[in-house]
Amino acid sequence: MSSETRRDAFATGCPAHGGRTPLYGPEFAARPRQVYDALRRYGAVAPVELAPGVPASLVISYNAALDVLRDPVTFPKDARRWQRSVPSDCPVLPFMMYRPAVNLTDGAAHTRLRAAIADGLSRIDPNTVRESVERNVDTLMRGFSEKGSVDLRAEYALVLPMLVFNEILGCPPEIGERIVTGMRGVVENVDAADNNQLAVKAVAELVALKRARPGQDLTSWLIEHPSGLTDQEVIEQIFLLVGLATETEQNLIVNALLLLLSDDRFAGDLSGGNLPVEDALEEVLWADPPVANWAISYPTQDVALHGVLLPADQPVVIGFAAANTDPAAMSMSRAGNRAHLAWGAGPHKCPAQSQARTIASIAIERVLDALPDLELAVPTSGLEWRPGFAQRALVSLPVRFAPVHIPPRPTPGTQGMGRAGGLAAALLDAGPRRSNPLTRWWRGE
């Protein structure tokens, strides 16, 4: 099929959406794999709609996705030309708009920002991260272990990454709560513009605090880096890191727990006490990655990709979930295979995957170890998936178990990234302070 013919095929989709398949709403959230399979009739790239009136091209071929991710010259990240074509109230604009962040820049600017982030992450002691995760895991589990039931998303996976990354960033609890509240609204397109401002303002307060009183934390290291990042650049890098910590990490934990608790391939290992956590994580990263569709680029001129002509200045979205389940990719053996695209590829590959794996592995291992008879409280058909084109995320993960008592751990010193460790206690001690949105999430309200 010629490029022109394939481009004409873009008009054969849903007439109500300009011939494009919508990647939003409860229908897509409930059955994304069926949507991806149906889109394969278009070839390597399919016409989709990210929100009402927001057309895009979704790359659903594994090899085509690699070609895009490895070619930032043809597929640049700068969204500003596209932004001029959409109204200011576009629901996904706060989520997709240009920022001077490492994942949204190319060339020398990207190299400079990535060096600062990579150097900062390299200074984080893995043992300190592990201790932080274990301490916060135990604190959270003590809050529900004697109840016999819990929503593991609201009271565990949602809160844990934020606790750990707040310590990594040296972020005080009262600032961290506002950052996460705003970030969640941006990702879920709930009052996105207002929540974007809430998050940015809170991060700006953190940067001002650390410029005045630096510490042994990632925020201070970004400020002090020889690359000479401006305050705005530091704010944007932290905005990105918090988004990865709160959204991607919680989805990875929840999706892996769901797999372990519902898939017969893992049930025997769980009952026998051998927790195949790494196997479950790899399976999720292949088949149900926490970020399903992202790594958006904006070609500055019409460009052919695997026989499909992509229009200039229109978003090109990498379908991580679709590409990983491309029949060509699924022919590869997955045993010990980390060739999936869940962390990206090329110059924009995720620089924090080591920390992400540590948090997820410990979170899953410790909750399964502490609650060995853990099981889903509802059938998998009763679980609800959150809407949105980018994420693959459950609304809740209700489970039940035999109540157990988890004794307190000794409290370590507060050096280095432990300076923000009081947030877990703040959440547990919040009591009836219902004005605190993060506390309401933590309590599953």
Could you report the per-residue pLDDT of 353-391, keeping only the tens digit for each?
Answer: 988 999 999 999 999 999 989 999 999 999 999 988 999
Q: How many CA atoms lie within 13 A of 123 on its CB side?
A: 19
Of 425 and 140, more confident? 140
307 shares a domain with 257: no
Task: Tell me, yes or no, whether 52 lies in a domain.
Answer: yes
Q: Note the pTM of the prediction, 2 decimals.
A: 0.84
The β-bridge partners of 276 are none
How many domains, the chain? 2
437 shares a domain with 361: yes
245 shares a domain with 213: yes
Q: What is the structure's pLDDT at 434?
A: 30
Q: What is the structure's pLDDT at 254?
A: 97
Q: What is the structure's pLDDT at 17?
A: 57
Task: Tell me, yes or no, whether 282 lies in a domain.
Answer: no
260 shares a domain with 353: yes
118 shares a domain with 72: no
DSSP structural state of residue 304 = E
Question: What pLDDT band is residue 194 in, cutting at 50, 70 and 90?
Answer: confident
Least confident of 210-224, 261-275, 331-345: 261-275
Question: What pLDDT band is residue 264 in, cutting at 50, 70 and 90?
Answer: confident
* CATH at 332: 3.30.43.20
pLDDT at 57 over 90: yes
pLDDT at 428 over 60: no
Question: What pLDDT band is residue 430 in, cutting at 50, 70 and 90?
Answer: very low
pLDDT in tens, 16-54: 456 899 999 998 999 999 999 999 999 999 999 999 999
119 shares a domain with 88: no
330 shares a domain with 367: no
207 shares a domain with 75: no
CA 274/CA 69 separation, integer angstroms: 37
Whole-number CA gyration radius for the chain: 22
CA torsion through residues 116, 122, 127, 130, sign = positive
pLDDT at 426 over 80: no
Average pLDDT over residues 401-407: 94
Classified as helix, coil or strand, 50 is strand
Q: What is the DSSP string of 269-337?
A: HHHTT---HHHHHHHHHHHS-SB-EEEEE--SS-EEETTEEEPTTS-EEEEHHHHHT-HHHHTS--TT-
- 324, 340 in Cβ contact below 8 A? yes
Task: Tell me, yes or no, whether 388 lies in a domain.
Answer: no
Task: Tell me, yes or no, whether 391 lies in a domain.
Answer: no
What are the tokens at 345? 């590829």
Q: What is the structure's pLDDT at 336?
A: 61
83 shares a domain with 112: no
238 shares a domain with 193: yes
Q: What is the structure's pLDDT at 410?
A: 65
Nearest CA to 393 out of 206, 215, 253, 236 is that of 253
Task: Tell me, yes or no, whether 287 lies in a domain.
Answer: no
pLDDT at 108 over 90: yes
Task: Tell me, yes or no, whether 82 lies in a domain.
Answer: yes
Question: What pLDDT band is residue 412 in, cutting at 50, 70 and 90?
Answer: low
Task: Tell me, yes or no, whether 382 lies in a domain.
Answer: no
Q: What is the DSSP string of 240-258?
A: HHHHIIIIIHHHHHHHHHH
By residue range, what is the domain housing residue 41? 1-98+292-341
* CATH at 404: 1.10.630.10
259 shares a domain with 161: yes
193 shares a domain with 56: no
Task: Tell me, yes or no, whether 390 lies in a domain.
Answer: no
